[in-house]
Structure 1
Amino acid sequence: MSAQTIELLPVHDLVGELRGAIEGEVSDAAGRRALYTTDASNYRIVPAAVVAPRTTADLLAATEIARRHGIPLTLRGAGTSIAGNAIGPGVVVDTSVHLNRILDIDPAARTARVEPGVIISSLNRAASPHGLRFGPDPSTHMRATIGGVLGNNACGAHGLAYGRAADNVIELDVVDGLGRRFTAGDGLDPVPGLANLVSANLAVLRTEFGTFGRQVSGYSLEHLLPENGAGLARALVGTEGTVVTMLEATVKLVPAAPAPALVVLGYADMASAADAVPALLPFRPLAIEGLDARLVEVIRRHRGAGAVPDLPAGNGWLLVEAGGADAAEALENARAIAAAGGTSAVRIVPAGTEASALWRIREDGAGLAGRTPQGRQAWPGWEDAAVPPARLGAYLREFETLMRTHGVEGLPYGHFGDGCIHVRLDIPLEADGTALRSFMHDAAELVVRHGGSLSGEHGDGRARSELLALMYSSEALELQARFKALFDPDALLNPGVIVDPAPLDAGLRRPAARPLPAAGGFSFAHDGGDFTRAVHRCVGVGKCRADTGGFMCPSFQASKDENDVTRGRARMLQEMANGSLIAGGWDSAEVHDALDLCLSCKACSRDCPAGVDMAQYKSEVLYRSFRGRLRPVSHYVLGWLPRWAKVAGIAPRLVNAVAGIGPLRRLGMRLGGMDPRRGMPAFAATPYRSRKRRSPHRPAAGTPVVLWVDSFSDSFHPDAVAATIAVLEDAGYSVRIPDEDLCCGLTWISTGQLDGARRRLAKLLDALGPFAAAGTPIVGIEPSCTAVLRGDLVDLFPDDARASAVAGATRTLAEALEAAAWQPPRRDGLEVVVQPHCHQYSVMGFQADRELLAQAGVRVTELAGCCGLAGNFGMELGHYETSVKVADHALLPAIAQMGEDAILLADGFSCRTQASQLAGASAVTLAELLDPRRA
């Protein structure tokens, strides 16, 4: 049943009945449906309605109502399915919102009973006090759900040790397409006719299914064989929601390895690394992963050289994890593996931060591999084919030849110990799916020649189901169709997948999106000057959904709503570019609603492995939507804050006094589009420039450096300017301060007033450009303003060489002090709670600051997460509650736990304001903390 067919059905009756029957959320609104049109795949199918069941009873009701209306139902977890497994034309059910409870953990039996929306890492955290974990660990384990893992029969890096998801399931509580609810375990009795189907097809089952460990394509019917225990639960794993709907699962838990060691082996290329795998398998390693030099180079470009620990010589590497009863035994096993690796390029890395950094490369591979070294978009599709490990080297060599023949490039990596290879390819998809179909067909024939599987852990979905006819005989295909018919004869469960498949080039998302060329705002030069290409950087990996305690994505951490996460916003913008479901273009209410709670923290620009910069996209949307039109009043008040601050600087004491009168302040805040619960930040009694006019700064002798005094530091925190000068001079710099009032236009950028921002930056370029051209460093004070010079400046002036020069010359204070090899004054034992500014973390990085604090001898508690104010965001009406929830994530708990003599360090004006307004805490800047004049 096509998406177009469903659109014509009377779905309002269905939606009304769903709303009356379940406690959870039901929506057929265009904006909500837009969020669920795609997963992490190339495909786009518009659902008729989206349901987020609150209870198992809700889920049962949803399945029954959809069945009675004859409308398809597709189950979805985190939406990270790469093959188009979790999208459908009827009712899409999101289990991740509410059905995410761990119902029971039995340490003695080593089992857990869970709902389908439980995130793998959440289960592992709950099991870790017992020394246990769930075995399968896909790279998306921080956001992937149990339901998705079981649906796709996922494995992950440690599948070598713990097997596939099918090997880790005990029982499934399910309901099938006929509305029958039953418990599937071992035994075929719950399904009438299943035992007869098995007994009549023993030869096919024994010869075509389960031929090697990573044969995941199609249904895993080998588990139904009598010699395999007639494992119905195991056979249902990997059916991708096409046979039953999972209500609960009882899964195995395994002992967690206490201190595994990592062996890194270097080879001439990936195929040579693959050749070495069979010799390593007898040592029973926990994992054998493969890395390609091309992927490592992309990581270095994206995150800097420091993101990649030292690797032994080579262009292809194996990461081999060795376990043991303790660290000593793990190292002993690691040495034995290294000796058998057939290479002298070896490193053994004990458990710890360096080993974690190497594993992080693998975990982020799906996103980072989304761009070739030349910057071209790479797509999933032929994403995780697998062959028997003994054939892996030969397969890789032929696969490289196949890529050259088709003129495509990819960054292969994967689970070499299991023969499973992940790769994304720069197949041209903007026009149509012709090239995709041609490559996929040839790649399928290649993997079948090597006795392999089209999929090794991600399932077939819409990407590969059509190709099953190349892998299985007609008898095996008919057997799978008859198996599905026993459970879902009307084909209402996730139609178009595995049985009666949709064409692999149908419903492609990218060809349906219209170009949106740059139009006077940001250049999007890194995406060919096209906004559509920029937003299609998001391929749905979903790292922004991971609750890792980091910076991305603060609004999702507060709301847990797909509408408020980077991926959801990108999906809405992609739908805007498509223009069929979201038809309002730049003025679309759905688009503005999705962007409303984006804090513009820019954390996605660093943490998103695909390089999404939602802050920039939001600014561009606001620019195009309001250009030449009346804007919200907050854009004039907060967006022009440096302008008003300059006026307030004429009589700051009077302004502060008026702002201190409660009723007047609240009225003024509301009239200015701000939340009256907020306070007005106090203006400095004497702005820095007023001080400078009265007592001009005379540069000391030393290495010249330009100190750029931004509007916030000048008007609100001039003491930080004085402290910065003192520290720089102590480090041997001769500090020059331009006489001009130079604004970076940050507040204009965040409110989408890009023409105004460009005017201010043009003036800044006139003043700072000559210094940059002469090689003089430019030191910023306020992190968000410094980040504009390092990032947005070049995007707003792509053809101005001065912009690149200024960006290259701009430094944070810590970076300038690091370059001078300055030794900070000792602050031994001082307890410091550090709130890094999001823009510093995202654009410049915090490593230099971190090292400087360590040299000063302070005891640091470094927070990971946004403060929640985020410039104008937390001040605006409608954002207060979200702002406070974000602050509750890290900042407010840390302040509450601070010792009496502890110091809060926050270089960002927003961070200091949030701490003051919500917790009554004062904060200092890095310069003030390390000021040599400070006692």
Structure 2
Amino acid sequence: MTTTAQGPGSLDAAAVAEALGAGDCGEVAGDAGRRAQYASDASNYRQIPLAVVFPGERRHIRNTLAVCRRLGVPVTARGAGTSTSGQAVGPGVVLDFSRYFHRLLALDPEARTATVEPGIVLDDLQRAAAPHGLLFGADPSTHSRCTLGGMIGNNACGSHSLAWGRTADNIVELEVITYRGTVVRLGEMTAEEIDEAIAAGDDRSELIASLHRLAQRNLATLRTGLGQFPRQVSGYALEQLLPERRFNLARALVGSEGTLAVILSATVRLLSPPPARALVVLGFSDACAAADAVPALLTHQPLALEGLDHALTDIVTRPATRAAIDTLPAARAWLFAELGGTADALPRQAEALAETARRAAGSTGSEIITDPGRARTLWRIREDGAGLATRLPGGTSQPSRAEGGSEAWPGWEDAAVPPGQLGSYLRKFTELLDHHRLQGAVYGHFGEGCLHVRINFDFDTEQGTAVFRAFVTEAARLVAAHGGSLSGEHGDGQARSELLPLMYGPDVIALFEEFKSIWDPDNGLNPGMIVQPLPVDGNLRVSPHRTPLPLATVFPFHADDGDFAKAARRCVGVGKCRSADHRGDVMCPSYRVTRDEKDSTRGRARLLYEMTQGEVITDGWRSTEVRDALDLCLSCKGCSADCPVGVDMATYKSEFLHHHYKGRLRPASHYTMGWLPLLSRLAARVPGLVNALTSSRLAPALKRLGGIAAQRELPRFAGQTFLTWFRGRTPRGDGRRGPVVLWVDSFNNHFSPEVLQAGVAVLEDAGFRVRVPDGTQCCGLTWITTGQLGTARRIARRTTAALAPAVAAGLPVVGLEPSCTAALKTDLPELLDGDEDARALSRATLTLAELLVHHAPDWQPPRIEARSISQTHCHQHATSGFSADSALLNRLGIDNTALDSGCCGLAGNFGFERGHYDVSVAAGEQVLLPAVRSAPSDTRILADGFSCRTQIAQQTSRRGTHLAQLIAQALRPAGTSARAGLPSLPTDKEHSRD
């Protein structure tokens, strides 16, 4: 008889965590913060666990199961938590394999196999296999963070499964442990091996005997009801038990969503990719026409055939990606066809496929993409689809995801039909959306009939939730009528398990129940998934039955209707912030160092959302759990650009800190570094004395009092500020282009005035007349990042008022410090919501490169025949990008390499604060600092950010150079004194402290 493990009400979290801690289960967490972080995955569902366990060894897994079995607590296995169906959350104990249990155990290039622990990230396996010319065939879009264990749980597929198969097709052997503690090694078996195993008379033999009897009694059902097309992955893969499939228990376990056993190790098959690939982009009048063309295109045997609807591409705002989209063939939908072969044969193959597409009804054109960089950019749109599609344009306008738009959700995320049925299914599916007055951006694996779509369900109301239930029920019937599968790769989970009887008859459902009972008679593993299902509209993450706490905010959060809870739930859990691979992204620096969920953008967003709900995190803005999770957020703003759904954790952190410390004593660093611009003005009166004190024996005590890391060397104040220098000089140049306002930031003004002096020289040489703001102005950034928003607002008002006349007169405002430039462009308009002067200032603010490239296109800069590597400041990455800098460097003749380094790790006050030094340096050591150390001595190190230059100076023997300095040095005629009153500038090989 089947028993059921106890639910969350049977034991409290503290008791469960205590039992696990005493049972040698690895790292155990039962605190409110951890439970909140793991309450959701990438689905619509939310279940608060009793505890989270991070196993590091096999015994930890065995012991965890033993403790849970004794307590009657269910167990949910979890990888990266990117599942969209709710199978990675549960009410009992969550086993997170991704943090420690992620080793590559063996790789055999000759046998083309690898053996791994389940927590290994797919990209890490691919990097290990690549030197041998091998790869793992299944490649879901979450490849930079998804784990092999999660892929096995869902039978993940990806873009290339058309050619290289699903995860199941690439599994050789699994070693698993059941809820009752039986360890079994699984693979394909001959009749003789089955007989031998059954005869052994142990727990394994009883398991195999029961499974063999199930298969033998139901051969006809297994042959006719399951495995009818590649993407039929709903339910259990019982067809793998057939004799012609060699009774492959390993592959039968794939796609079981952690309901049968826990994986200890997996041996996977590797393959050799073709020597060359080509991308062919095909345009169509709409997605239905693209779907109709699929069967004919499949005759060309593409490696991948992916579809995108214009509703998805319309959402893209990232400049480089937007530019690539704008050059696609004019269309309302596209197919991306990738071909593999030899370099000589590919052009003919690509043209033949394009010709087939041109003959299809609704074809609007095609293009063969030969530039690898552009191809990667286009593929990125497809990979980011799950995140991009979570914000749909509202009304007739096309706002970006940062500007709002209706929320869109999974729930009908990856249904699949045989490819020949795709066009018919998509038309009827579109009619079903219209009938329920819903919208969704369609994309996915058209070549295998698998569609992804995010739909604007309204979970905030009872009526909206009822519409959700009605829609998915009718959609399930529609898929079944087309011979399809409710899930094509993401698993059934809570999202579809209840609907399985609409796809399978009662005989198949009965087999699923028997299969589960054989493996897990106690129902201790992930209960409620596939069999004995939880309701599709239960445990919803957003529910009309919960009333969020009334939390007033300083920032307006217009993109989220002024609702901080809605801003926090903007994170849908796709987990891109958990990627350890930079590849042009900044987010999330601290996670890349610690590999801890609490230090990811997603983990922080989850905590903030739970804070708004008041259930697990009960003390609102005063929460210490949220404060601690935000502690290692660098406020780099990388997530605001890199997160597919536009989570801006830097702003969320500022808002939280403002309320958390309101009326209370703050950390010392908030006073020393938060008020640095004001303190710097005082220090500027006696810079020599201040520098003597900060480099004396009193320095350690001063750092302790100021909340500053003992390991950090304090920057030295300049003997003369830039403003003092500027106001005592005579303008140079002809000023033919008219006036420009140079923003005098506090960092360069007080610590490195030579940067601003160089900026003056360059601007005057380019024909501008340089002005500076009246008085001493500040963007307020240091107060913003430390959450002192009241003070920041007052400073912002004074700044915008001071600059308003110049901005109204049409003068550009040029910033040389990227963080301050970004604050003028983005933070001030938000702080001063509705202030027209702030909005005008935002529009007028430019970087030096943007001004010279766009407002002085005929200026002839000096030629600098040199090589450089450049570190893009995080805030510039998030707001302006590097394209203008790249264009200017090209005009200068510089052979520049922009580092894919992410954040330098210093990030303003972060790297100076006590307790942050190790993470700060470790972030820099991932790419930037080793690249600087290994650069040839004649390579210039470009870094516009004061923080970046400081990190480089303090951690290497090199010196970073601002772009303005690089140009200004080249302006000086040989053998003469500095032009425009420019002082002598050190080269980047001279070690100095900024």
| TM-score higher than 0.5 | yes
Contact 2:49/2:94, CA 8 A, preserved across alignment: yes
Matched, 1:837 2:873: yes
For the residues of structure 1 that align with 2:320 and 2:392, how far apart are their CA atoms? 15
Give the counterpart of 2:349 among 316, 333, 345. Answer: 333
**Once the 2 structures are TM-superposed, how far is the Cα of residue 14 of structure 1 from its aligned partner?**
4.5
For the residues of structure 2 that align with 1:40 and 1:676, how far apart are their CA atoms? 40
Provide, for residues 536-569 of structure 1, a one-character-per-residue CA deviation record: whole Å limited to 9, x for no partner: 1101100011111241111011111111111111
Task: Report the counterpart of residue 980 of structure 2 in structure 1.
Answer: none
1:617 aligned counterpart, secondary structure: helix
Matched, 1:407 2:437: yes
For the residues of structure 1 that align with 2:888 and 2:561, how far apart are their CA atoms? 39
Provide, for residues 61-86 of structure 1, a one-character-per-residue CA deviation record: whole Å limited to 9, x for no partner: 22232223221111100110110111
Comparing 329-338 with 81-90, which one deviates more in the overlay? 329-338
2:454 aligned counterpart, secondary structure: coil
Matched, 1:892 2:929: yes
2:115 aligned counterpart, secondary structure: strand
For the residues of structure 1 that align with 2:511 and 2:866, how far apart are their CA atoms? 70
Matched, 1:76 2:78: yes
For the residues of structure 1 that align with 2:285 and 2:277, how far apart are their CA atoms? 26
> Given the superposition, is the C-alpha separation of residues 14 and 763 from structure 1 closer, same or farther in structure 2, using an over 3 Å criterion?
closer
> Given the superposition, is the C-alpha separation of residues 366 and 29 from structure 1 closer, same or farther in structure 2, using an over 3 Å criterion?
same
1:327 aligned counterpart, secondary structure: coil
Task: Report the counterpart of residue 865 of structure 1 in structure 2.
Answer: 902
Contact 1:513/1:532, CA 8 A, preserved across alignment: no
Comparing 301-310 with 188-197, which one deviates more in the overlay? 301-310
**Once the 2 structures are TM-superposed, how far is the Cα of residue 110 of structure 1 from its aligned partner?**
1.3
Provide, for residues 238-294 of structure 1, a one-character-per-residue CA deviation record: whole Å limited to 9, x for no partner: 000001111111111111232210111111000000000000111111000001111
> Given the superposition, is the C-alpha separation of residues 658 and 697 from structure 1 closer, same or farther in structure 2, using an over 3 Å criterion?
farther
Matched, 1:727 2:770: no
Comparing 508-517 with 530-539, which one deviates more in the overlay? 508-517
The 5-angstrom pairing of residues 217-228 of structure 1 reads 217-228=234-245
For the residues of structure 2 that align with 1:28 and 1:3, how far apart are their CA atoms? 19
Contact 2:637/2:648, CA 8 A, preserved across alignment: yes
Task: Report the counterpart of residue 386 of structure 2 in structure 1.
Answer: 366
**Once the 2 structures are TM-superposed, how far is the Cα of residue 518 of structure 1 from its aligned partner?**
6.7
> Given the superposition, is the C-alpha separation of residues 300 and 233 from structure 1 closer, same or farther in structure 2, using an over 3 Å criterion?
same
1:113 aligned counterpart, secondary structure: strand
**Once the 2 structures are TM-superposed, how far is the Cα of residue 827 of structure 1 from its aligned partner?**
5.1
The 5-angstrom pairing of residues 610-649 of structure 1 reads 610-649=645-684
For the residues of structure 2 that align with 1:307 and 1:799, how far apart are their CA atoms? 33
Task: Report the counterpart of residue 971 of structure 2 in structure 1.
Answer: 933
Contact 2:414/2:487, CA 8 A, preserved across alignment: yes
Matched, 1:581 2:616: yes
**Once the 2 structures are TM-superposed, how far is the Cα of residue 167 of structure 1 from its aligned partner?**
0.9
Look up the equivalent residue of 1:595 and give its one-letter code.
L
Give the counterpart of 2:456 among 426, 429, 439. Answer: 426
For the residues of structure 2 that align with 1:606 and 1:516, how far apart are their CA atoms? 28
Contact 1:525/1:795, CA 8 A, preserved across alignment: no
Matched, 1:389 2:445: no
For the residues of structure 2 that align with 1:652 and 1:844, how far apart are their CA atoms? 34
Contact 1:22/1:53, CA 8 A, preserved across alignment: no
**Once the 2 structures are TM-superposed, how far is the Cα of residue 56 of structure 1 from its aligned partner?**
1.7
Provide, for residues 140-167 of structure 1, a one-character-per-residue CA deviation record: whole Å limited to 9, x for no partner: 0110111011100110000100111111
Task: Report the counterpart of residue 978 of structure 2 in structure 1.
Answer: none
**Once the 2 structures are TM-superposed, how far is the Cα of residue 697 of structure 1 from its aligned partner?**
4.2
Contact 2:87/2:493, CA 8 A, preserved across alignment: yes
**Once the 2 structures are TM-superposed, how far is the Cα of residue 866 of structure 1 from its aligned partner?**
1.0
1:923 aligned counterpart, secondary structure: coil
Comparing 331-340 with 81-90, which one deviates more in the overlay? 331-340
For the residues of structure 1 that align with 2:447 and 2:716, how far apart are their CA atoms? 61
The CA RMSD measured in Å over matched residues stands at 1.9
Look up the equivalent residue of 2:344 and give its one-letter code.
A
Contact 1:866/1:887, CA 8 A, preserved across alignment: yes
For the residues of structure 2 that align with 1:351 and 1:222, how far apart are their CA atoms? 43
1:720 aligned counterpart, secondary structure: helix
The 5-angstrom pairing of residues 113-262 of structure 1 reads 113-187=115-189, 190=205, 191-262=208-279
Look up the equivalent residue of 2:765 and give its one-letter code.
D
For the residues of structure 2 that align with 1:74 and 1:192, how far apart are their CA atoms? 26
The 5-angstrom pairing of residues 775-814 of structure 1 reads 775-814=810-849
> Given the superposition, is the C-alpha separation of residues 505 and 340 from structure 1 closer, same or farther in structure 2, using an over 3 Å criterion?
same
**Once the 2 structures are TM-superposed, how far is the Cα of residue 637 of structure 1 from its aligned partner?**
1.1
> Given the superposition, is the C-alpha separation of residues 178 and 658 from structure 1 closer, same or farther in structure 2, using an over 3 Å criterion?
closer
Provide, for residues 670-711 of structure 1, a one-character-per-residue CA deviation record: whole Å limited to 9, x for no partner: 101111221221111110111133225478232332211122
> Given the superposition, is the C-alpha separation of residues 827 and 740 from structure 1 closer, same or farther in structure 2, using an over 3 Å criterion?
same
Give the counterpart of 2:857 among 807, 821, 824. Answer: 821
Task: Report the counterpart of residue 506 of structure 1 in structure 2.
Answer: 538
> Given the superposition, is the C-alpha separation of residues 13 and 570 from structure 1 closer, same or farther in structure 2, using an over 3 Å criterion?
closer
For the residues of structure 2 that align with 1:249 and 1:12, how far apart are their CA atoms? 33
The 5-angstrom pairing of residues 227-626 of structure 1 reads 227-300=244-317, 305-308=322-325, 310-324=327-341, 326-341=342-357, 342=359, 343=363, 345-350=365-370, 352-374=372-394, 375-432=405-462, 433-511=465-543, 514-515=547-548, 519-549=552-582, 550-626=585-661
2:279 aligned counterpart, secondary structure: strand
For the residues of structure 1 that align with 2:947 and 2:537, how far apart are their CA atoms? 48
Contact 2:5/2:522, CA 8 A, preserved across alignment: no
Matched, 1:665 2:699: yes
Contact 1:828/1:858, CA 8 A, preserved across alignment: yes
Contact 1:386/1:420, CA 8 A, preserved across alignment: yes
Comparing 642-651 with 58-67, which one deviates more in the overlay? 58-67
Matched, 1:877 2:914: yes
Structure 1 unaligned residues grouped into runs of 5+: none
Task: Report the counterpart of residue 399 of structure 2 in structure 1.
Answer: none
Look up the equivalent residue of 1:670 and give its one-letter code.
R
For the residues of structure 2 that align with 1:27 and 1:520, how far apart are their CA atoms? 31
Contact 2:7/2:74, CA 8 A, preserved across alignment: no
Paired positions, count: 933
> Given the superposition, is the C-alpha separation of residues 822 and 629 from structure 1 closer, same or farther in structure 2, using an over 3 Å criterion?
farther
For the residues of structure 1 that align with 2:823 and 2:963, how far apart are their CA atoms? 20
For the residues of structure 1 that align with 2:657 and 2:188, how far apart are their CA atoms? 57
Provide, for residues 871-923 of structure 1, a one-character-per-residue CA deviation record: whole Å limited to 9, x for no partner: 11111111111111111112221222122233222111111122222224322
Task: Report the counterpart of residue 97 of structure 1 in structure 2.
Answer: 99
For the residues of structure 2 that align with 1:14 and 1:746, how far apart are their CA atoms? 44
For the residues of structure 2 that align with 1:482 and 1:777, how far apart are their CA atoms? 72
2:265 aligned counterpart, secondary structure: strand
2:315 aligned counterpart, secondary structure: helix
1:443 aligned counterpart, secondary structure: helix
Percent of aligned pairs with the same residue? Answer: 51
Provide, for residues 95-140 of structure 1, a one-character-per-residue CA deviation record: whole Å limited to 9, x for no partner: 1111111111111221111110111111111111111100000000
Structure 2 unaligned residues grouped into runs of 5+: 198-204, 395-404, 975-994
**Once the 2 structures are TM-superposed, how far is the Cα of residue 307 of structure 1 from its aligned partner?**
4.9
Comparing 688-697 with 892-901, which one deviates more in the overlay? 688-697
2:230 aligned counterpart, secondary structure: coil
Task: Report the counterpart of residue 981 of structure 2 in structure 1.
Answer: none
Comparing 444-453 with 425-434, which one deviates more in the overlay? 425-434
For the residues of structure 1 that align with 2:764 and 2:549, how far apart are their CA atoms? 49
Task: Report the counterpart of residue 674 of structure 1 in structure 2.
Answer: 708
**Once the 2 structures are TM-superposed, how far is the Cα of residue 2 of structure 1 from its aligned partner?**
10
1:767 aligned counterpart, secondary structure: helix
Give the counterpart of 2:794 among 750, 759, 767. Answer: 759
Matched, 1:655 2:690: yes
Task: Report the counterpart of residue 725 of structure 2 in structure 1.
Answer: 691
Provide, for residues 164-204 of structure 1, a one-character-per-residue CA deviation record: whole Å limited to 9, x for no partner: 11111111101123322111111365522111111211222
1:574 aligned counterpart, secondary structure: helix
For the residues of structure 2 that align with 1:649 and 1:307, how far apart are their CA atoms? 48
